[in-house]
A = this chain, B = another copy of it.
């Protein structure tokens, strides 16, 4: 698209009401704009990034048999009461003018169990997994940290249904593997971190923590092995010996041979929780009647799991993890466009024609190009390219002649290529 026609503009200064780096850079680049505390509009550039992240998540959820659907946000009081979650003050609850009482969805165990109860009848109908990518609402008292913790935020939530605990355990590991793929594709290093199960389960649950000073969670981890626990459950402090005997597993007994002990030292860091996985057991399937007939003919409640990824939180996390003093550095799979094309000295009609040809050729090939055709200085174009952070920059100018100068946003290296070579690469 032509940058001269873009709805948004960049700005030199961040808005005064934004303190978090993610919100400052996203506002300066015109990706997102606060409408009230914890509530943001995703402007066209930011919406493109959200869509890219959602697509990565969607592909990996489909690969493990997840079926996409869309639950409502308006959930009637009767459903929350079945699961004893009305009145928790976590979400927004209100009475409509017609008198019915509603809680806005901040999670959808109720909705997924309600739906599953219609269709799951036999062990042959199991396992099943459904997910959605939808706005969630939480009545956060203090909305801070920019887009890391909002009152309205985009999430992917997956719910799975199983005949027994063993099948849930298997699927739980499948989801963990799929989540790891998502975070690798998006260039978000994570620590799989043990956390408490809350009211749901006696077992640990797991959080995917991206270590970052911007994080709101505290994570204890071992730099030498996979061991990681959140503040709630960690029984060791930083500086102490890593409690893991083998990769990531806590030592099962003090008599364990010394050879299997990790030997690392526990470190502490701030973490952003970008994903989580829970074994729910039968709490919701019992409340909503998700029952099946097993091989022996007896009725049993399905065993459930629930699994979340914060899609808009990932957008903010990417900014926190990948930026420099000049702006954002989007990883390729989250970049709002594949290429940012800058044409310098477009007053020269030959240069302008050359730039237009590059734009048309790439666009025709299906490459998403943001073409900076604005009548502004080269310095301003370079500055905005660095601020917007599109993963690849292409420059056409009198100096580049017949060629195109390519530079990755995360590298200093530039190279001159022909249009044909550029098309080959993209």
Contacts and interface: CB of A to CB of B under 8 A. Distances in A.
A44 B73 contact: no
A228 B118 CA distance: 43
Contact of A119 (B9, B46, B89, B141): B9
Contacts of A72: 35, 39-41, 152
A75 B35 contact: yes
Interface-central residue, A70, A76, A137, A151, by most chain B CB under 10 Å: A70
A83 B32 CA distance: 23
A146 to B, nearest CB: 14
Given A70-B47, A96-B139, A41 B152 contact: no
Nearest to A8: B119
A298 interface: no
A56 interface: no
A128 interface: yes
A69 B44 contact: yes
A139 B98 CA distance: 7
B35 A47 contact: no
A39 B139 CA distance: 22
Nearest to A76: B36
A333 interface: no
A72 B34 CA distance: 10
A41 B117 CA distance: 13
Contact of A97 (B47, B89, B152): B89
A92 B94 contact: yes
A119 B30 contact: yes
A92 B102 contact: yes
A65 interface: yes
A307 to B, nearest CB: 16
Contact of A35 (B79, B89, B94, B152): B79
Nearest to A4: B124
A74 to B, nearest CB: 5
A381 B96 CA distance: 43
Interface string A111-153: 1001110110000000010100001010111000000000110
Nearest to A43: B69
Interface string A379-390: 000000000000
A33 interface: yes
Nearest to A93: B94
A238 interface: no
A46 B69 CA distance: 8
A7 B130 contact: yes
Interface of A: 1, 5-9, 30, 33, 35-37, 39-44, 46-47, 50, 65, 67-76, 78-79, 89, 92-98, 100, 102, 104, 111, 114-116, 118-119, 128, 130, 135, 137, 139-141, 151-152
